[in-house]
């Protein structure tokens, strides 16, 4: 991780829960569940908030989530609200009241922004209203990449248990500014 001034602004901050599965693509550090995406904060305030939550997040170590589907899809910048160019694959997960409560609380904490503002002067909230639990498996470039549904199914058939349950192994805080390969892990807790 590159040293950054404590006043540096992070315009796209995310909380990831991660599993013990190996990544399918080099651009994805590890398969993960995104709890909050797009929360703007300074590096210092993000680290302080994450540190204050570490104790409470330990309760997630006992969580097991049930897979209910597999999706491989493409997003293109500017098309149907797309925010970047990428292809991805994910396992959809059954809703879990404990996880939904934690996601909602973290979303509220990070919507209490420390000064970031949109052009109209209002603080941009993190994206929490349309949250649906899913385990992100892999990201790739939409053209010329090797990721497709067949390759994902073939790889994950090696892990029979993944179709039955997904266990949470930790939580991490990410600066997601820039392209996928530019994302940086700010802090993490491994259970």
Cα-based distances in Å from 55 to 59, 116, 133: 8, 27, 22
Cα-based distances in Å from 73 to 79, 87, 118, 137, 162: 13, 6, 29, 12, 20
CB-based contacts of 10: which residues, under 8 Å, 6+ apart?
40, 41, 42, 43, 46, 175, 177, 186
pLDDT at 173 over 50: yes
pLDDT at 116 over 70: no
Does 59 or 16 have the greater pLDDT score? 59
pLDDT at 162 over 80: no
The dihedral built from the CA positions of residue 132, 134, 106 and 101, taken in this order, carries a sign that is: positive
What is residue 21's predicted lDDT score, i.e. its pLDDT?
56
Q: Which residues make beta-bridge pairs with 69?
A: 92
**Rounded average pLDDT over 174-185:** 78
What is residue 174's predicted lDDT score, i.e. its pLDDT?
83
Does 162 or 11 have the greater pLDDT score? 162
Cα-based distances in Å from 6 to 9, 47, 162: 8, 9, 39
Does 72 or 126 have the greater pLDDT score? 72
Helices (H), 13-96: 43-57
pLDDT in tens, 32-84: 888 877 766 777 888 888 888 888 787 777 788 888 988 888 888 899 988 77
What stretch of H or E contains 75?
A: strand 67-75
pLDDT at 158 over 70: yes
pLDDT at 15 over 80: no
pLDDT at 25 over 70: no
pLDDT in tens, 180-191: 778 788 888 888
CB-based contacts of 77: which residues, under 8 Å, 6+ apart?
83, 84, 85
Count of H helices and E strands in the chain? Answer: 3, 9
72 closest CA partner among 55, 95, 52, 92: 92
182, with CB counted inside 10 A (0-12, 13-18, 19+), is: exposed
What is residue 143's predicted lDDT score, i.e. its pLDDT?
77
Domain ranges of the chain: 9-190
Does 25 or 180 have the greater pLDDT score? 180
Give pTM, 2 decimals: 0.72
The CATH number of the domain covering residues in 9-190? 3.90.1140.10
Q: Contact at 8 Å (CB) between 72 and 87?
A: yes
Q: Which two tokens stand for residue 43?
A: 């590096």
Average pLDDT of the residues of the chain: 73
pLDDT at 6 over 60: no
């Amino acid at each position: 991780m590159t040293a950054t001034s404590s006043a540096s602004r992070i315009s796209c901050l995310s909380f990831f829960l991660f599993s013990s599965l190996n990544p399918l693509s080099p651009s994805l550090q590890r398969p993960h569940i995104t709890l909050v995406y797009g929360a703007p904060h300074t590096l210092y305030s993000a680290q302080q908030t994450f540190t204050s939550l570490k104790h409470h997040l330990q309760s997630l170590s006992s969580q097991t989530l049930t897979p209910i589907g597999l999706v491989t899809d493409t997003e293109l910048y500017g098309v149907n609200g797309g925010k970047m160019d990428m292809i991805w694959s994910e396992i959809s997960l059954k809703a879990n009241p404990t996880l939904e409560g934690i996601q909602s609380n973290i979303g509220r904490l990070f919507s209490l922004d420390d000064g970031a503002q949109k052009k109209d002067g209002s603080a941009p909230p993190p994206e929490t209203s349309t949250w649906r639990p899913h385990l992100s498996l892999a990201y790739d470039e939409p053209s010329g990449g090797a990721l497709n549904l067949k390759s994902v199914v073939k790889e994950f058939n090696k892990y029979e248990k993944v179709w039955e349950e997904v266990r949470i192994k930790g939580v991490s805080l990410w600066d997601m500014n820039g392209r996928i390969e530019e994302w940086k892990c700010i802090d993490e807790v491994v259970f």
